[in-house]
């Protein structure tokens, strides 16, 4: 099942992505929002299936929608850094390179969250803007101290993410926060694919800067897999339904290039993250 949020007539609506369009569940009388759907998915799924069997509502075209982030503004946004070996190598090629012994966790503020095709303004207070294609976990059930072997039970689904970064701000201190949490710097979407529909540990992931393919990898190359990440994060952080976890980016970021080849993102450009079995997330910079 693919669930998305979009805006219509000044209201937030919940949609269901089908092969030939998007079904407006809100217009069909579906009473739940996304958070309620995540928290009560077994009951919600029965209601959605009943609406689909009715087949009375016209489908909306994907290109006509004004997408909202596929999560609540109250969701926590956690991120994992340095989680693909090739990315670690490109970032530390001139240093004594070691892989992290444990997941490197940081966070973004909630107002960094934005949706598919939403414009992101590049601040004049930073200049070295970079992309990071990432698979994003959507937590379905809250908890702490989750065993790795049970982590799958706590995952609602997955979406595409772009961990946008202002690199010179990120490097100012050992804490990455100010380089990661500018408004709109956590694009996610276009929809959430429920966990039963894919294997998160074997998904092709890529990023295009305009027409140029700049990142191309597979989630099987993660240092810490999806279930390890959820289990580890829950040792220190109370995970709650609707929380997002960006799981790290593969090689190919601008920051990993030689200094004379670092052609940073500028206003007017578009970046598209594509993940197998999920879809494509496009961000335009202004």
- pLDDT recorded at residue 57: 81
Is it the case that residue 96 has pLDDT exceeding 60?
Answer: no
Of 3-7, 67-71, 150-154, 277-281, the one with minimum mean pLDDT is 67-71
- How far apart are the C-alpha atoms of 271 and 277, rounded to whole Å? 19
What's the predicted TM-score (pTM) here? 0.95
Start-end of CATH 3.90.850.10 domains in the chain:
71-285
**Average pLDDT over every residue of 97-101:** 82
- The answer to whether 116 touches 64, Cβ cutoff 8 Å, is no
Q: Is 141 exposed, middle or buried (0-12, 13-18, 19+ CB in 10 A)?
A: middle
**Residue among 87, 181, 164, 90 nearest 128 (CA):** 164
Average pLDDT, the chain: 93
What's the chain look like in SS3? CEEEEEEECCEEEEEEEECCEEEECCCCCCCCCHHHHHHCHHHHHHHHHHHHHHCCCCCECHHHCEEECCCCCCCCEEEEECCEHHHHHHHCCCCCCCCCCCCEEEEECHHHEECCCCEECCCCCCCCEECCEEEEEEECCCECCCCHHHHHHHEEEEEEEECCEEHHHHCCCCCCHHHHCCCCCEEEEEEEEEHHHCCCCCCEEEEEECCEEEEEEEHHHECCCHHHHHHHHCCCCCECCCCEEECCCCCCCHHHCCHHHCCCCCCCCEEEEEECCCEEEEEEEC
Q: How confident is the model at residue 54 (pLDDT cuts 50, 70, 90)?
A: confident
CATH class of the domain whose range is 71-285? alpha beta
Is it the case that residue 94 has pLDDT exceeding 90?
Answer: no
- pLDDT recorded at residue 169: 78
What percentage of residues in the chain have a pLDDT greater than 70? 98
**Average pLDDT over every residue of 82-106:** 83
- The answer to whether 245 touches 80, Cβ cutoff 8 Å, is yes
Q: How confident is the model at residue 177 (pLDDT cuts 50, 70, 90)?
A: confident
């Amino acid at each position: 099942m693919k669930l998305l949020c979009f805006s219509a007539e000044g209201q937030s609506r919940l949609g269901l992505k089908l092969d030939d369009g998007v079904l407006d569940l809100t217009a069909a009388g579906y009473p739940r929002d996304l958070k309620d759907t995540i928290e009560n998915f077994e009951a919600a799924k029965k209601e959605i299936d009943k609406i689909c069997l009715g087949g009375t509502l016209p489908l909306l075209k994907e290109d006509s929608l004004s997408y909202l982030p596929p999560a609540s503004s109250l969701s926590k946004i956690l991120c994992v850094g340095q989680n693909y070996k090739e990315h670690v190598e490109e970032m530390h090629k001139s240093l004594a390179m070691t892989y992290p012994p444990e997941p490197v966790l940081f966070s973004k503020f909630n107002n960094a969250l934005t949706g598919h095709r939403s414009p992101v303004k590049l601040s004049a207070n930073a200049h070295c803007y970079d992309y990071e294609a990432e698979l994003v976990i959507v937590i379905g059930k809250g908890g702490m101290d989750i065993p790795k072997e049970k982590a799958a039970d706590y995952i609602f689904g997955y979406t595409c993410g772009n961990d946008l970064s202002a690199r010179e701000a990120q490097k100012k201190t050992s804490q990455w926060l100010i380089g990661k949490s500018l408004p709109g710097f956590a694009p996610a979407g276009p929809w959430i694919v429920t966990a039963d529909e894919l294997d998160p540990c074997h998904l092709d992931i890529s990023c295009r800067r305009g027409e140029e393919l700049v990142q191309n990898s597979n989630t099987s190359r993660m240092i810490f897999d999806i279930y390890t990440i959820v289990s580890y994060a829950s040792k220190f952080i109370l995970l709650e339904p609707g929380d997002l976890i960006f799981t790290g980016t593969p090689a190919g970021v601008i920051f990993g290039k030689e200094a004379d080849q670092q052609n940073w993102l500028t206003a007017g450009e578009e970046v598209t993250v594509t993940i197998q079995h999920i879809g494509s997330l496009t961000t335009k910079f202004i």
